Structures are given as structure tokens and as C-alpha cells.
């Protein structure tokens, strides 16, 4: 039996020497925990199968390459790998019974076993190779692949095993030789016979289960889930910490970045710590439910027994809970710029808002629910809370999103606005009937929304959908998005899924206060480049004009936060010719200005 297949062409020139090499806007990267290696084989290089990625190691050069969904593979969940010496290609079988074959710069997908409905159990058990054929042992029998044509040649069920054995002598075909290897969470991977030679493998060395935070220099990801320590990510890549200055680190469940100082707060259920990049310092002990910072730098600690503790400039103040408030279970919390603390109410009862006397004059507690005049929430089950750049509070629930713009809650009405978005020709409340796992605000005040149905980017007001990524149309390993973190300087968006961590190079970056030298990427623009050109290090909402050398205006746009995007085309949608183009940047009043050049090679 022959079967048709789908072929995807991939340029493996994009394979990075580390899974952390940053690329152009719109590109993806994996940040996988590769400390568990299921299989190591030798082909033209060593190939190491981790849970969701293949690592290629060239022993002579020391080069390490990572092969995953971001650069060609169609699936995650690797079950078996094998090297075909005859046609010099790598065969990858997945847990869902799909098969990828990598030959040169092409990836061939054989999806027939995965999609067939003829058999209940289709799991792949083994791979054998002989004379240009791939013998795939499954629970229902043998599938024979023509490795030259990359298609299924024959399928034999278990009842016909004696027939296929007589034809091909499968039992006498040698099995794939698996090579011994060992892993270490800090050192990396070692391959026999050189088990003392460690190969550095970047990425978190433990699964990330805690609440991640980021500032201008660092992303900090607690391991949590009874695992001590944390991982950090910077422009130098990933680092893993289990001790500092020879002192073991505690288990950390939450983290948050100080808005003005280069420090993080980290916490577990018993204590709050401060981390400055070198050491941790105990801040507070108690029954900790959550931590937060307002944009003014005021720290807030939610203590189940003591109440809300405010810490600023070593001045501590405790605010008691209202009568009847008992914090059971996990509590989401955010402190806004008016020094109001928003938190999930216990037992699916909406949200509680505490207003301190640090901005308004009156301390006050108030509860908000689904009542039309008592909050107007889309649901009382609150799943996420975030403050945007304009001070609005976005509240995610198991039935969509409500947006609050509240003043003094002790005397002003405070009800949610439910955005109505048009999608597929129909009007509906934003993410109605969707469980909102998380909400994150980018530098342009757009919102990234994590759901059980992938990741979404919506406009500043939530009235239009800009992007929707799923495991089917992107390298996301799964559609369940638990956390979204943005690295502000590059605009890279990190998606913590229920499986692994991946990132996407977004369009919005943090603005600069004063206009300096522009950073343009790529520059020069190579002939084969077909992505957007980014112009970074801009003041907020800067005007950007692009002209030719004669001063003719080619294109004009606005910065998204601190970055502008140009597609290399004129207003008429025509690709510009080879040459040098000038970039002029200024703010609205003309105080901040900048100039740059872009070289386009061989047209764009």
C-alpha cells in the first residue's frame, strides 16, 4: 500500500548553535528542559532525543544544534529516532505515531499512522532500517516505509507476521544502536565513551512551575513544585541556581520584579526574599499567599494571618482583612498605581479590592461580583488580574474578561466594562466561555491572553484580535498557556505552556526616555530575508519616517512602545529597490530626534 504525504521545506540555516539565539521579528525559539535524554544514536553526528526536541552534536567541532517545532518538526513527544545511512537522513517517530524524516534542508511528514482510524492502538514500538526501507513496528503490526520516496509502501497486521517475516526477515535486521549517555542539571550531557566530557545544554534544568517575573535585565523563573532554586534568562542565555554563595536555595513559588530597582522579590508559603542578582535576603516570614509591587515601588505582602503588609523604604504598615474574609486556596493579586490591591475572593466569590490611604485618603475594602451594579464581572471565578499601562485593571475569569477603570472606591461606582469583539462576522463578549489562564501587557499596551485554546494578542482596548497562536499554526507545544512573560528590551514573548516554555519575537519593545542611536535589524537586509525590519531604541510613540537619499518619503509609521516595524515596502505596497534608505525619528513635540540608515541588498 502506498500513501501520500505532506512535505514541508525548511531552511536549516536557521538552526541555532544554541536554542537561545535570538532572531527576527515573528520567529520562535524553544527553551526546553533537555535534562532527560531517552535515546542517543550516531549518524553524520550524534543525535540525542529528549522529550520534545532532538539535539544534534558534532563531536569534531563541538557545535550543538537544536531541532524542534520552531525550525521544522511537526510534533512534540518524541518516542524513537533512527539514522538512515543509505540516504543520510534522520527518522523521528512521535508518541502520537506521526513520523518526520529530515533529509538535508527538508522535513518530510508521514502522518498516515497517526490519522488512520482502522486501529485502536497505533503506538510505535520500534524502528528498523534495511536496504532503503524503514520497518516501523506498531501495536497493530508492521508499517514499511520507502525511505527514498518518503511514503508508506506496505502495511502488515499482526495476524500476518509470519508472511512479512518470510518476505523481509525482519527479525534478522539489527536494531538501532543506542549509545550510553548521562545528564547533570548543571553540567549538561555526556556521551559514551567520553562520559567525563560534558556538553553544555542551555535551558531551564528543571520544569518551571512557579510564577515567573521579568525586568530590564533578567527573567526569573522559580522551579517550585517542591524543587529548590530557580532559573534566570538574560541576553547571555539561561542559568540555573540551586545555591548561592554555597547556601542552598529554598523552594520558590512566586516572583515579582521591583518596578524601579534591579531586584526581585521571591516567596513561598512561609517567607518572602529579595534577590539582587548575587544573593537573597529574608524580607518577611509568615503565611504568605502572594506578593506584589505597585508602579510606585511600594511592596505588598498578602499574609493569610496578618493581613496586607505594605513595605516601602523600610516603613512597614499592616492593614487588617475585613470581617469574614478567609483566604483559602491560591490567590491572584495585583497592586495598582493608586495603591489599591486587587485580589481573588475565596470560594469563587469574585474579587476583593483594598484601597490604602497612600493615594486616596480613605482606607476601604470592597467586594465585586457578577452583579450588574456590584462589579458586572463575567464570572465570579477569577483566574487572572493585571494592570495595563493606562491604569485599567483587566480581570480574567472562566467566562472571558472584564475591564475596570476605578477611582476612589470608597465613594465612586466601580463596575467592569465587558468588551465586545467582532469575530467571524459575529459580535460577542471578549473570550466569552473561554477560561483565561493569564493576561500580560506589552510595551504598546496590547494584551497577550493565555487560554486553553492557545495564545491571543488583542488590541489596547480589547476590541480586535491581532494574533491567535495554537499548536497547529505555531511551534507552541500545546494549547494550554499558563503564563506569558515579556522581555521588555527585545519584545520577546515567552509562553509557559502545560508542556514546555517557548518564545516568540513580538513587535513591541520598551521605550527609551531620551532618543539615542537607533538599532535596526537586520541591517544590511539580506536578499533572502522576507520578515519585517525592526527599528528599536525609540522614545514612546515616536514618529518614524523612511525616505530615499533624495528625501522622498517612502513610508511612515508610529513606534509600538519603543520599536517601529517596516515591511520594506512603499505606501503602494511595492518592494523598494536596492539601495540606502534614511530613517528619521522624533517625538510629537520635536524634542527627541534620531537618524539612521537601512541598506537594502538586491531588492527586498
* CA-wise closest residue to 542 among 569, 570, 510: 510
Compute φ and ψ for 85, nearest 5 degrees: -70, -35
Contact 113, 99 (CB under 8 A): yes
Residue 422: all three cell numbers together: 467582532
pLDDT band, very low/low/confident/very high, at 20 (cuts 50, 70, 90): very low
pLDDT for 154 beyond 70: yes
Calpha distance 60→359 (Å, rounded): 64
Q: Which residue has the higher pLDDT, 603 or 446?
A: 446
pLDDT band, very low/low/confident/very high, at 488 (cuts 50, 70, 90): very high
Calpha distance 245→249 (Å, rounded): 10
Radius of gyration of the chain (CA): 27
Q: pLDDT (tens digit, 9 = 90+) per residue, 185-195?
A: 888 999 999 99
Q: pLDDT (tens digit, 9 = 90+) per residue, 216-253?
A: 999 999 999 999 999 999 988 999 999 998 999 999 99
- 530-549 as b/e: b if 16+ CB within 10 A: ebbbbbbbbbbebbbebeee
pLDDT band, very low/low/confident/very high, at 324 (cuts 50, 70, 90): confident
**254, 266, 297, 307, 365 from 313: Cα distances, Å:** 22, 18, 9, 20, 25
Domains in the chain, ordered, with CATH? Answer: 6-199 (2.40.128.630), 431-510 (2.40.10), 519-600 (2.60.40.4070)
Q: Which range scores top for mean pLDDT: 193-197, 448-452, 530-534?
A: 448-452
pLDDT band, very low/low/confident/very high, at 265 (cuts 50, 70, 90): very high
Residue 257: all three cell numbers together: 520584579
Q: Which residue has the cell 509591587?
A: 293
Calpha distance 479→498 (Å, rounded): 8
Q: What is the pLDDT of residue 603?
A: 63
Residue 391: all three cell numbers together: 491604569
Q: Name the 3-class secondary structure at 168.
A: helix
pLDDT band, very low/low/confident/very high, at 530 (cuts 50, 70, 90): confident
Residue 36: all three cell numbers together: 532527560
pLDDT band, very low/low/confident/very high, at 22 (cuts 50, 70, 90): low
Q: pLDDT (tens digit, 9 = 90+) per residue, 338-380?
A: 999 999 988 889 999 999 988 998 899 999 999 999 999 999 9
Calpha distance 214→486 (Å, rounded): 7
pLDDT band, very low/low/confident/very high, at 11 (cuts 50, 70, 90): very low
Q: Name the 3-class secondary structure at 325.
A: coil
* Contacts of the segment 49-52: beta carbons below 8 A, 24+ positions apart: 49/78, 49/80, 49/81, 49/92, 50/78, 51/76, 51/77, 51/78, 52/76, 52/77, 52/78, 52/477, 52/499, 52/500
Complete DSSP assignment for 285-298: ES-EEEEEE-TTS-
pLDDT for 515 beyond 70: yes
pLDDT for 528 beyond 90: no
Q: In what order do the strands lie in the sheet with 151-157?
A: 124-130, 133-138, 141-146, 151-157
Taking residues 508-521, report their average pLDDT.
92
Cβ neighbours of residue 496 under 8 Å, at least 6 residues apart?
A: 208, 212, 481, 482, 483, 484, 485
Compute φ and ψ for 364, nearest 5 degrees: -160, 145
Mean pLDDT of the chain: 91
pLDDT band, very low/low/confident/very high, at 19 (cuts 50, 70, 90): low
pLDDT for 53 beyond 60: yes
Q: pLDDT (tens digit, 9 = 90+) per residue, 564-580?
A: 999 999 988 888 999 99
Q: What is the pLDDT of residue 128?
A: 97
- Element housing 167 (H / E): helix 161-168
pLDDT band, very low/low/confident/very high, at 60 (cuts 50, 70, 90): very high
Calpha distance 509→523 (Å, rounded): 18
Q: pLDDT (tens digit, 9 = 90+) per residue, 371-408?
A: 999 999 999 999 999 999 999 999 999 999 999 999 99
Q: What is the pLDDT of residue 92?
A: 98
Q: What is the pLDDT of residue 9?
A: 40
Q: Over pLDDT 90: what percentage of the chain? A: 82
pLDDT for 7 beyond 70: no
Q: In what order do the strands lie in the sheet with 37-42?
A: 37-42, 46-50, 54-57, 64-67
* CA-wise closest residue to 30 among 529, 496, 534, 530: 496
Taking residues 427-454, report their average pLDDT.
95
Calpha distance 557→250 (Å, rounded): 48
Taking residues 21-48, report their average pLDDT.
90
Q: Name the 3-class secondary structure at 549.
A: coil
Q: What is the pLDDT of residue 469?
A: 97
User: What is the 3 state secondary structure string of 434-480?
Assistant: CCEEEEEECCCCCEEEEECCEEEEECCCCCCEEEEECCCCCCCCCCC
pLDDT for 602 beyond 80: no
pLDDT band, very low/low/confident/very high, at 35 (cuts 50, 70, 90): confident
Taking residues 133-162, report their average pLDDT.
96
Tally the residues of the chain. Answer: 604
Amino acid at each position: 500500500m502506498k500513501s501520500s504525504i505532506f512535505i514541508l521545506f525548511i531552511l536549516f540555516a536557521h538552526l541555532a548553535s544554541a536554542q537561545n539565539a535570538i532572531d527576527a521579528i515573528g520567529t520562535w525559539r524553544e527553551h526546553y528542559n533537555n535534562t532527560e535524554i531517552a535515546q542517543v544514536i550516531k549518524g553524520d553526528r550524534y543525535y540525542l532525543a529528549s522529550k520534545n526536541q532532538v539535539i544534534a552534536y558534532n563531536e569534531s567541532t563541538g557545535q550543538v544544534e537544536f531541532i524542534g517545532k520552531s525550525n521544522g518538526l511537526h510534533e512534540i513527544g518524541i518516542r524513537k529516532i533512527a539514522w538512515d545511512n543509505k540516504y543520510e537522513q534522520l527518522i523521528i517517530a512521535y508518541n502520537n505515531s506521526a513520523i518526520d524524516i529530515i533529509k538535508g534542508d527538508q522535513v518530510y511528514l508521514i502522518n498516515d499512522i497517526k490519522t488512520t482510524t482502522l486501529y485502536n492502538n497505533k503506538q510505535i514500538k520500534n524502528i528498523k532500517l534495511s536496504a532503503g526501507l524503514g520497518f516501523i513496528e506498531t501495536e497493530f503490526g508492521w508499517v514499511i516505509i520507502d525511505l527514498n520516496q518518503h511514503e508508506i509502501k506496505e502495511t502488515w497486521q499482526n495476524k500476518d507476521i509470519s508472511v512479512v517475516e518470510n518476505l523481509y526477515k525482519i527479525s534478522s535486521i539489527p536494531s538501532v544502536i543506542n549509545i550510553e549517555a548521562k545528564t547533570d542539571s548543571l553540567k549538561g550531557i555526556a556521551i559514551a565513551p567520553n562520559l567525563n566530557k560534558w556538553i553544555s545544554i542551555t535551558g531551564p534544568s528543571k520544569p518551571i512551575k512557579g510564577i515567573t517575573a521579568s525586568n530590564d535585565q533578567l527573567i526569573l523563573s522559580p522551579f517550585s513544585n517542591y524543587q529548590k532554586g530557580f532559573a534566570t534568562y538574560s541576553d547571555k542565555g539561561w542559568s540555573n541556581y540551586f545555591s548561592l554563595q554555597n547556601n542552598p536555595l529554598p523552594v520558590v513559588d512566586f516572583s515579582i520584579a521591583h518596578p524601579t530597582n534591579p531586584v526581585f522579590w521571591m516567596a513561598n508559603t512561609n517567607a518572602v526574599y529579595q534577590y539582587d542578582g548575587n544573593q537573597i535576603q529574608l524580607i518577611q516570614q509568615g503565611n504568605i499567599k502572594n506578593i506584589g509591587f505597585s508602579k510606585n515601588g511600594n511592596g505588598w505582602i498578602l499574609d493569610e494571618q496578618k493581613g496586607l503588609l505594605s513595605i516601602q523604604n523600610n516603613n512597614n504598615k499592616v492593614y487588617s482583612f475585613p470581617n469574614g474574609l478567609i483566604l483559602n486556596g491560591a490567590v491572584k493579586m495585583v497592586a495598582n498605581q493608586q495603591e489599591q490591591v486587587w485580589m481573588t475572593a475565596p470560594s469563587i466569590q469574585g474579587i476583593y479590592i483594598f484601597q490604602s490611604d497612600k493615594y486616596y485618603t480613605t482606607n476601604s475594602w470592597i467586594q465585586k461580583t457578577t452583579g450588574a451594579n456590584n462589579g458586572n464581572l463575567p464570572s465570579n471565578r477569577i483566574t487572572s488580574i493585571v494592570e495595563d499601562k493606562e491604569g485599567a485593571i483587566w480581570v480574567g475569569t472562566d467566562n472571558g474578561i472584564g475591564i475596570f477603570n476605578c477611582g476612589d472606591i470608597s465613594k465612586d461606582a466601580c463596575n467592569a466594562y465587558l468588551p465586545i469583539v467582532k469575530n467571524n462576522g459575529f459580535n460577542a463578549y471578549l473570550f466569552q466561555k473561554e477560561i483565561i489562564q493569564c493576561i500580560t501587557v506589552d510595551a504598546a499596551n496590547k494584551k497577550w491572553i493565555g487560554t486553553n485554546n492557545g495564545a491571543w494578542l488583542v488590541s489596547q482596548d480589547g476590541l480586535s484580535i491581532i494574533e491567535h497562536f495554537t499548536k497547529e499554526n505555531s511551534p507552541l507545544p500545546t494549547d494550554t498557556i499558563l503564563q506569558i512573560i515579556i522581555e521588555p528590551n527585545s519584545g520577546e514573548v515567552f509562553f509557559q505552556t502545560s508542556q514546555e516554555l517557548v518564545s516568540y519575537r513580538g513587535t513591541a519593545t520598551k521605550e527609551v526616555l531620551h532618543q539615542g542611536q537607533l538599532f535596526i535589524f537586520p541591517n544590511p537586509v539580506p536578499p533572502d530575508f522576507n520578515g519585517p525590519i525592526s527599528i528599536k531604541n525609540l522614545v514612546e510613540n515616536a514618529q518614524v519616517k523612511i525616505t530615499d537619499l533624495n528625501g522622498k518619503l517612502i513610508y511612515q509609521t508610529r513606534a509600538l512602545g519603543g520599536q517601529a516595524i517596516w515591511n520594506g515596502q512603499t505606501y503602494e505596497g511595492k518592494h523598494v529597490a536596492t539601495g540606502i534608505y534614511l530613517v528619521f525619528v522624533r517625538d510629537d513635540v520635536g524634542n527627541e530626534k534620531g537618524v539612521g540608515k537601512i541598506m537594502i541588498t538586491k531588492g527586498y
